Amino acid sequence: MDDNILKNKKITIMGLGLFGGGAGLARFLVHRGARLIVTDLKTEAQLASSLTTLDGLPLEFHLGGHRETDFKDVDMVMVNPAVPKDSKFLQIARENNVPLETEMNLFFKMCRAAILGVTGTKGKSTTTALVGEMLRCQGRRVWVGGNIGLGYSLLERIDEIGPDDPVVLELSSFQLEDLRKLKMSPHVCIVTNVVPNHLDRHGTYAEYMEAKKNVIRFQNPGDYCILNLDDQELRKWPRETKAKVFWFSTRDAIKRGTFLENGNVHMRLGEGGPGEVIVSCLPDVKLPGAHNVANILAASCAAFLMGARREHIDKALRGFSGLEHRLEFVCDRDGVHYYNDSIATTAESAIAGLRSFKGPLVLIAGGYDKGTPFDGFAEECAKHTKCVILIGKTAQKIGELIATAKGGRDTPQILFASSLEEAVRSAVNVSQRGDTVLLSPACASYDMFVNFEDRGRQFKSLVKGLDVAG
């Protein structure tokens, strides 16, 4: 892509957002000589954390709502992935022949390096970070970004990314939905799993899967596709790609891929891969939960295909302690262990969190309703918790399902709280030495918080605060 194509162009950024990507995109476009309008439905006060990173830049802001003229009299509209596809303002742009672009599509067009993409309903952030660490242990310069929420856009570093530098991207269904326009997929991809999610946006599970399939749909015979053999849906996906397919499994020994056997990670890459049989010991990793074993298997396979070897993978696993808000240990308070799993915005990811702990468990859950079912989650709560404290719009719905699932049993106790602070206080009151208190909401955060990070950080602050015992 010609670097000068953006110079002197009048561009509208639709959706600044709060995770840093929108602000990073704005900085990139300004430095490329574009004339920018930034518009968002959120107000200046709501966007304060993003706006402070743009101080001093020549930007025009239209906040608290959109103006039709910003989608007519411009050369391009850069669309935040979270913007609904049926937005009337996007339709205005289409009717006026204004091109629509996204940060991720622009990055794919401009990136000179091989891209490794990670997607899935759960586990993609941890897997992305793990692959990055494994490749860094080779001594290589590695670039990690995308939907992982690191607070910046890799577009700002595009000129520094050399053709031999690995780029590891977490890709959401929203980003992949847009990537279809380019008919491009990553050189290496991992799909961790696929279960219903974001049905409020995609409408149906089938449409959600169609968006996810773009990560493999346009791969070539020289590319690699790594799929979860334990996921029944993903077993059907090889027909969707021309790439070489590798598998990972926590249950079965497989001919080409990675699997768990006797506590060891086995790599059997077979004919067509860069090696025949590689066996790596699974170290005493710091990541709790059986689901993280699957993430380790997926990341190990991808890293090896990208050039890492056993010693690099082992070193990365020994030193990796996980990401913030993903089964993150907060503290031990009076013999009670507190964990922050605010990233668990789906029932499936929260179930994985529940299954990660042994012993009495007090769960804080609930939040924004994305239209996904909670029946399985309620059954897991009935099996694995002594108390569930529910918050947010889904509280009543989840509470009723848990009450049905537990039948006539006394446990789990079901409590309701009007705020996270009240929920933490209740958790402190009902927990005893040896218990674990886990925030694993099974829901998005938008009904009560800025985002899942805000929710997780408030939880940590409340737990660590001296006033929660009062």
Residue that finishes a domain, picked among 266, 298, 319: 319
pLDDT surpasses 80 at 232: yes
Average pLDDT over residues 359-369: 95
- Give 69-97 pLDDT, tens digit per residue: 999 999 999 999 889 889 999 999 999 99
Q: What are the angstrom distances between the C-alpha of 105 and each of 9, 182, 194, 445?
A: 18, 7, 23, 27
List phi, psi (to 5°) of 332: -110, 115
Q: Within a domain: residue 368?
A: yes
Q: How many CA atoms lie within 13 A of 122 on its CB side?
A: 26
Average pLDDT over residues 267-296: 67
Helices 103-110 and 21-31: crossing angle, nearest 10°? 50
Amino acid type, 163: P
Any alpha helices (H) in 112-204, and if so which ranges?
A: 124-136, 173-179, 199-202
Residue in the block written with tokens 């200046």: 44
pLDDT confidence of residue 268: 85
Going by C-alpha positions, the residue among 103, 96, 106 that lies closest to residue 13 is 103
Q: Within a domain: residue 271?
A: yes
Whether 238 and 163 map to the same domain: the answer is yes
| Total Cβ atoms within 10 A of residue 4 | 10
pLDDT surpasses 90 at 132: yes
Q: Within a domain: residue 256?
A: yes
| Number of independent structural domains in the chain | 3
Whether 289 and 384 map to the same domain: the answer is no
Domain extent for 24 = 8-101
pLDDT surpasses 60 at 332: yes
Token readout for 306 is 């990208």
The structure's pTM equals: 0.78
DSSP helix/strand/coil, 242: coil
Q: What are the angstrom distances between the C-alpha of 174 and each of 125, 147, 164, 179, 212?
A: 15, 10, 28, 9, 9
- Give 414-457 pLDDT, tens digit per residue: 999 999 999 999 999 999 999 999 999 999 998 899 889 999 99
- Confidence band (pLDDT; 50, 70, 90) for 272? very low
Amino acid type, 257: G
Whether 92 and 207 map to the same domain: the answer is no
Helices 124-136 and 290-305: crossing angle, nearest 10°? 40
Whether 82 and 177 map to the same domain: the answer is no
CATH at 135: 3.40.1190.10
Whether 125 and 92 map to the same domain: the answer is no
Token readout for 396 is 């009543």
Residue 400 contacts residue 416 (beta carbons within 8 Å) = no
Average pLDDT over residues 357-382: 93
Q: Within a domain: residue 204?
A: yes
Q: Within a domain: residue 376?
A: yes
Any alpha helices (H) in 271-326, and if so which ranges?
A: 290-305, 310-319
Q: Within a domain: residue 207?
A: yes
Average pLDDT over residues 389-416: 95
Q: What are the angstrom distances between the C-alpha of 383 and each of 357, 394, 438?
A: 12, 20, 15
Whether 161 and 270 map to the same domain: the answer is yes
Going by C-alpha positions, the residue among 35, 21, 205 that lies closest to residue 103 is 21
What pairing do the DSSP bridges indicate for beta strands 436-439 and 10-14? unpaired
DSSP helix/strand/coil, 27: helix
Helices 124-136 and 310-319: crossing angle, nearest 10°? 120
pLDDT surpasses 50 at 273: no
CATH at 410: 3.90.190.20
Whether 125 and 74 map to the same domain: the answer is no
pLDDT surpasses 90 at 400: yes
Token readout for 196 is 């219903």
Non-local CB neighbours of 198 within 8 Å, separated by 6+ positions: 173, 174, 208, 370
**Alpha carbon distance 5, 437 (integer Å):** 53
Whether 284 and 344 map to the same domain: the answer is no
pLDDT surpasses 90 at 281: no
pLDDT surpasses 70 at 277: no
Burial of 8 (0-12, 13-18, 19+ CB in 10 A): exposed
Residue that finishes a domain, picked among 287, 319, 351: 319
Q: Within a domain: residue 135?
A: yes
Separation of CA 169 from chain center: 10
Whether 94 and 39 map to the same domain: the answer is yes
Whether 264 and 224 map to the same domain: the answer is yes
Going by C-alpha positions, the residue among 69, 317, 316 that lies closest to residue 77 is 69
List phi, psi (to 5°) of 443: -145, 160
| Total Cβ atoms within 10 A of residue 33 | 12
pLDDT confidence of residue 422: 97
Any alpha helices (H) in 162-306, and if so which ranges?
A: 173-179, 199-202, 205-217, 290-305
Q: Within a domain: residue 410?
A: yes
Residue that finishes a domain, picked among 293, 319, 345: 319
pLDDT surpasses 80 at 276: no
Whether 22 and 38 map to the same domain: the answer is yes
Whether 206 and 233 map to the same domain: the answer is yes
Mean pLDDT of the chain: 90
CATH at 24: 3.40.50.720
pLDDT confidence of residue 356: 86
